[in-house]
Amino acid sequence: MTVRSTESQNDDRYVVWLDIDNTLYSASAKISQAMGERIHAYFVGLGHTDEEASVLHHRYYTQYGLALRGLVRHHDIDALDFDRKCDGSLPLEEMLKPDPKLRNLLQDIDRSKARVWGLTNAYKTHAERVLRILGVDDQIEGLVFCDYANSDFFCKPEPEFFHDALKRANIIDTSKCLFIDDSKTNVEAARKLGWGRCVHFCEHGMQAVEGGKEKMIAQDGTIPDDVVVISKLEELRTVWPDIFKA
Ligand SMILES: [Mg+2]
């Protein structure tokens, strides 16, 4: 993957920010379930009962947007050890396969109009692995990830994480940001910060695990008027028509 370290100062193209997990692949891959099991086992490994593990897992996910954020903050664990045991141990090669349709979609984005970056709460090793298996790693020009190597890392939906992303991509005008994420909380956070065109990827009716709890994906509660909800990535062609090749 190419991560450009120096971005042109006066690059006024849009930036498409893609969440990776459960956005670039479907919840039907059941990766959230496998991740949830591993995170649960990690809590149990710290000496918690099953019940305590479930409560803490859900609490930290809800409070911080990422269970690991709570684990680092309250249990002083090594985030890289967590990453190896959780995301790192997922048999992703058996759960995901190359996605030519996704590849076409990304190739059809007119790069004279938009750059395409990843924006993930995972660590870079997991993010890069997913992109490689899906066969789209060469389509992603930059990656903003949670830096687990730094014990004080930020994650979505914390504003600092989004600010850092802007800095890395050298963006001043937030209206230039096009963002898609399967987490409504993350989409709302980006909207609040003035990110231009936000999309909630919501695979209605599918099962997924969030914060250790299995649930049916649904558009619950209200969503800001200017956020578009889609259930297939192909819909981006009509939601963001101006950034696709004619
Ligand atoms: Mg996601």
| Residue 24 CA to ligand 1 centre (angstroms) | 8
State whether residue 151 is helix, strand or coil.
coil
| 152 class by beta-carbon count within 10 Å (0-12 exposed, 13-18 middle, 19+ buried) | exposed
| Residue 10 CA to ligand 1 centre (angstroms) | 30
pLDDT at 235 over 70: yes
pLDDT at 2 over 50: no
What does the block give as tokens for 139? 């389509």
CATH architecture group of domain 14-27+92-243:
3-Layer(aba) Sandwich (3.40)
Q: 10 pLDDT band (50/70/90 cuts)?
A: confident
Ligand 1 is a single-atom ion; what residues have CB below 5 A from it? 19, 21-22, 182
Please give the single-letter amino acid code of residue 79: A
What does the block give as tokens for 4? 């450009």
> Cα–Cα distances in Å, from 65 out to 122, 158, 176?
11, 8, 25
Look at residue 192 in the predicted model and tell me its pLDDT.
96
The per-residue pLDDT for range 127-156, each reduced to its tens digit, is 999 999 999 999 999 999 999 999 889 999
Rounded Cα–Cα distance for residues 199 and 185 (Å): 12
Do β-strands 213-216 and 177-181 pair in parallel, antiparallel, or remain unpaired? unpaired
What does the block give as tokens for 52? 């305590």
| Residue 32 CA to ligand 1 centre (angstroms) | 9
pLDDT at 180 over 90: yes
What does the block give as tokens for 196? 């231009």
Contact by Cβ (8 Å): 68, 79: yes
Look at residue 5 in the predicted model and tell me its pLDDT.
46
Where do the H-state alpha helices sit in 65-192?
A: 67-75, 79-85, 92-95, 100-107, 124-134, 159-169, 184-192
Backbone angles phi, psi at 176, to 5 degrees: -80, -5
Look at residue 242 in the predicted model and tell me its pLDDT.
97
User: What average pLDDT score do residues 76-81 get?
Assistant: 94
| Residue 23 CA to ligand 1 centre (angstroms) | 5
Please give the single-letter amino acid code of residue 21: D
User: What average pLDDT score do residues 190-216 get?
Assistant: 95
Percent of the chain with pLDDT over 70: 96
Average pLDDT, the chain: 94
- Please report where in the chains the tokens 């060469």 appear, as a residue: 138
Q: Which of 176, 31, 4, 14 is nearest to 110 (CA)?
A: 14
pLDDT at 237 over 70: yes
> Per the omega criterion (within 30 degrees of 0), is the bond before 159 cis?
no
Is the CA virtual torsion 199, 200, 201, 205 positive or negative?
Answer: negative
Look at residue 152 in the predicted model and tell me its pLDDT.
85
| Residue 123 CA to ligand 1 centre (angstroms) | 13
- Kindly report the number of other CB atoms within 10 A of residue 191's CB atom: 19
| Residue 244 CA to ligand 1 centre (angstroms) | 23
Look at residue 132 in the predicted model and tell me its pLDDT.
98
Rounded Cα–Cα distance for residues 131 and 134 (Å): 5
- Please report where in the chains the tokens 């914060």 appear, as a residue: 211
